[in-house]
Structure 1
Amino acid sequence: MAPARGLQEAGVGASARRFTWEEIGLRTGRGHPQQERWLVIDRKVYDISQFYRRHPGGSRVISSYAGQDATDPFEAFHIDKKLVKKYMSSLLIGELEPDQPSFEPSKNKLLTEDFQELRTTVERMGLFNPSHLFFFLLLLHILLLDAAGWFVLWFFGTSFVPFLTAAVLLTIAQSQAGFLQHDLGHLSVFSSTKWNHLVHEFVMSHLKGLSAHWWSLHHSQHHAKPNCFHKDPDISMHPFLFALGKILSVELGLKKKKFMPYNYQHKYFFFTMPLLVVPVFQVYSLYFIFQRKLWRELAWTLTYFIRFFLFFEPLLGVKGVLGLLLLLNVAESILFTWISQMNHIPMHIDYDNNMDWFSTQLQATCNVHQSLFNDWFTGHLNFQIEHHLFPRMPRHNYWKAAPLVKSLCAKHGIEYQSKPLLSGFADILHSLKDSGELWLDAYLHGSGVQGMVWACGDH
């Protein structure tokens, strides 16, 4: 199909406009007089200036690619791409000039082409097809763990050992429910977006008491630009709690910023994030539900607390139930933080340098060695590399994609990091200690590692 004809069928007309990457790069929504936001998908140029606030996946997700090529993230996040492009036709304003490359100069052309070929290969292998039996058994084992926690207290009483046993079972149930909602939020359990969303609400709101909509908006931003400061909300605690990454830590020091004694962050980490993340999520999630008037999610969330009180109040009393709720939140927070951060905090953290999709994900993620325990304990997030490259892929297929990803890494000289589980945990502390020392050196002496002083410039 000729370019002019393709645009004409899309509703742009025969006299379609042509653009250069330089023109598109100015439309980021920042600094441009009209605050325009443009992006490119398959060489087509879309103006999202008015649409981005209505984007179903969240305004920040799509805005993070304003002024850039968004072909690979578009492919990664959407199930029915033909339907989505149909609705996008009203945003189409033109295409790249014929002499313009398909990829921006900052991106590795050969690597991008090889990754797109890899994505086609895994699709043909059926690795995006979910096993409903697998996910049904996951849900069943979560419900059984939940029921076992109650049964222990009912049958053995509420003395210390039964109470501790029940708390462990319930914490594991909550952790595993968190991994299942993660699958549903990534649209990897059903082939229908609608069914993924409906069951996601049930698991997230009824089994965990949190907002599914809030989680999806938050987590999609992380996947769009992982470990990119100002774009990844998972590193938004920088610099209020932690100095993360070498570049940002030196920048903080050179600017004489000291919100916390970062040279001790590897020690106070134990008393901050692991203890506070889930309890804070619980409070903010309720605020989000009321703010967005998500009444169906509110109803599901209330059933979580009602069910919990109905089952455990006769055994523990009101104070005991509240104490158990707090204990479960804190215990799950510890599991969630260590499991989720072992793949990211030790990796490269920087501003958005508009790299290709494959490089962006590989520099921000690492794996933990495969084993039956590691797969179950981490909800298959030990395959963080494969998950970030293919966020819609059902987790039971990561191990099949891993050899292909390793081969592509080897071809292009990119390190494919995989480590033991305990090493992953230890690396969180090692990286916090290293970045804290870099901050202190820059703060006291105005120095930093070679090549990082540029970080104090404008970004």
Structure 2
Amino acid sequence: MTFEEKPEGNGSLVDENQLDLSAKHQANGKPGASGRAKLPARQEANTKSGLPRKSLSTYTWQEIQRHNQETDQWLVINRKVYDVTGWADRHPGGRLVLNHCAGEDTTDVFRAMHPDPDIVRLYLKPLLIGELAPEEPNQERNKNSQLVEDFQELRRTLETMNMFSANLRFFFLHLAQAQGSFLQHDMGHLSIFKKSKWNRLMQIFLMGHLKYGKNKIKFINYEKQHLYFCTVGAALLMPVYFNLDSIRAMYCRRYWEDIAWVSSFYIRYFITFGPFYGIFGTLVLIYLVKLLESPWIAYVTQVSHIPMKMNTEENQDWFSSQVLATCNVEQSFFNDWFTGHLNFQIEHHLFPTMPRHNYHKVAPLVKSLCAKHGLPYVNKPILKAFGDIIRALKKSAALWMDAYYSHPET
């Protein structure tokens, strides 16, 4: 599978009919962009003058890495350079992920998060401003190019093996078992929305972000945050935090179709149970179910996130960053069923568009690649994984409180 751009139309950088992204994107049944994409000045000039594609500017990594600010963002995908500064606010996955990747090679991130590259090309074409100079490597020089190439070869192998094809029977059975929360979790990965969610969740529980802790130290006793997580945090994660956060995100991003689907759920719920329990009783029933569900999904998802190292400053390749930031829970019949196959969080992060029923098949290949390049492949018993959440929260709070009171001016 390749994502390289090809000359089209009259040979200009962007054909006129390619600029109307909204209409074409909506024709494919996907959320459309709000209006036409705004071209960067350099590219707009090239388009108007009808310059041929071969006249695209070339850039070095040193030049590209300077464009890594919120108001100036360049990305590299398959050696093509894109200016996404004006597009960031309309990015369906949010501005955050583009901010994080600015000035870097994002080929593997792009392939991981976009299941249909043909649609995404409609957005990329107007943003294209150049390409890497011929003498430049595919990735920044501080990255392990051999590891990146090995991972890309692994992905091509998995595509050949049809590991990204879903077994509809598997998901139908999970729906029958009322495990819709895991489907919501999967869709969160596809939209990159989960990154925003987890980042804001980490702002509530202190995991090393000094500025967030200083802002909230007057309201939260971080020395007891592990107790908050066990009692209030896990219980209210789904019925309060995620519900309100999802509604806020849908409204702010004008996802009217999603709002309609959510509204239909509550309408159907009240039609079904309202005659028996009344309006108040039906509301209590909805949130009682979510209250029972919440600790379960909180522990199942956070065993692979809270105890692991998360660093937003290091410029790591996609494979390394995902392997180091998460861990697996040992495979067993019970663990697979209890977690909905989300015990394979390493594979889930590396291949978020891969159906969960295939993770156990690709896990040995991922583990082998980790061993080849000296990366830890963490696989824990489920009870130890649960305990590590509490230990990690206690350790983070103790380290931060010591630093805060020792150096309150920092």
TM-score bin (small chain): 0.7 to 0.9
C-alpha distance in structure 2 between counterparts of 1:85 and 1:293, whole Å: 23
CA contact (8 A) 1:10 1:89 kept: no
Question: 2:271 maps to what in 1?
Answer: 310
The letter of the residue matching 1:258 is: I
Question: 1:265 maps to what in 2?
Answer: 225
- Matching of residue 243 in structure 1 with residue 203 in structure 2: no
Question: 1:301 maps to what in 2?
Answer: 262
Q: How many aligned residue pairs are there?
A: 363
CA contact (8 A) 2:226 2:393 kept: yes
Mean CA deviation greater in 176-185 or 369-378: 176-185
CA contact (8 A) 2:75 2:82 kept: yes
- Give 1:333 shift: 1.9
C-alpha offsets along residues 124-174 of structure 1, whole Å, 9 cap, x if unaligned? 1111111122222222x14xxxxxxxxxxxxxxxxxxxxxxxxxxxxxx3x
Going from structure 1 to structure 2, the CA distance change for 1:446 and 1:182 (only over 3 Å counts) comes to closer
The letter of the residue matching 2:54 is: A
Going from structure 1 to structure 2, the CA distance change for 1:346 and 1:185 (only over 3 Å counts) comes to closer
Mapping 1:161-172, distance limit 5 Å: none
Question: 1:100 maps to what in 2?
Answer: 136
C-alpha offsets along residues 357-384 of structure 1, whole Å, 9 cap, x if unaligned? 0111011110001122222221211000
C-alpha offsets along residues 208-234 of structure 1, whole Å, 9 cap, x if unaligned? xxxxxxxx3522xx2xxxxxxxxx541
The letter of the residue matching 1:323 is: V
SS at match of 1:381: coil
Mapping 1:41-440, distance limit 5 Å: 41-85=77-121, 87-139=123-175, 141-142=176-177, 173=178, 176-184=179-187, 216=191, 218-219=193-194, 222=195, 232-239=196-203, 241-245=204-208, 248=209, 258-259=217-218, 260-278=220-238, 279-440=240-401
Going from structure 1 to structure 2, the CA distance change for 1:47 and 1:429 (only over 3 Å counts) comes to same
Q: CA RMSD in A?
A: 2.7
Going from structure 1 to structure 2, the CA distance change for 1:10 and 1:302 (only over 3 Å counts) comes to same
The letter of the residue matching 1:29 is: Q
C-alpha distance in structure 2 between counterparts of 1:75 and 1:310, whole Å: 42
Structure 1 length normalisation: TM-score? 0.72
- Give 1:426 shift: 0.7
C-alpha distance in structure 2 between counterparts of 1:410 and 1:296, whole Å: 45
Structure 2 length normalisation: TM-score? 0.80
SS at match of 1:346: coil
Question: 1:168 maps to what in 2?
Answer: none
Going from structure 1 to structure 2, the CA distance change for 1:48 and 1:135 (only over 3 Å counts) comes to same
CA contact (8 A) 2:143 2:317 kept: yes
Higher relative contact order structure (alpha carbons within 8 Å, sequence separation ≥ 6)? 1
Going from structure 1 to structure 2, the CA distance change for 1:287 and 1:57 (only over 3 Å counts) comes to closer
Going from structure 1 to structure 2, the CA distance change for 1:302 and 1:413 (only over 3 Å counts) comes to same
The letter of the residue matching 1:40 is: V
CA contact (8 A) 1:252 1:443 kept: no
Mean CA deviation greater in 19-28 or 281-290: 281-290
Gaps of 5+ in 2: 14-51
C-alpha distance in structure 1 between counterparts of 2:281 and 2:89, whole Å: 44
CA contact (8 A) 1:367 1:383 kept: yes
- Give 1:37 shift: 1.5
- Give 1:83 shift: 4.5
The letter of the residue matching 1:120 is: R
Alignment identity in percent?
Answer: 47
Alignment match of 1:14 (pick from 51, 54, 57):
54
Going from structure 1 to structure 2, the CA distance change for 1:184 and 1:113 (only over 3 Å counts) comes to same
- Give 1:238 shift: 4.3
CA contact (8 A) 2:58 2:131 kept: yes
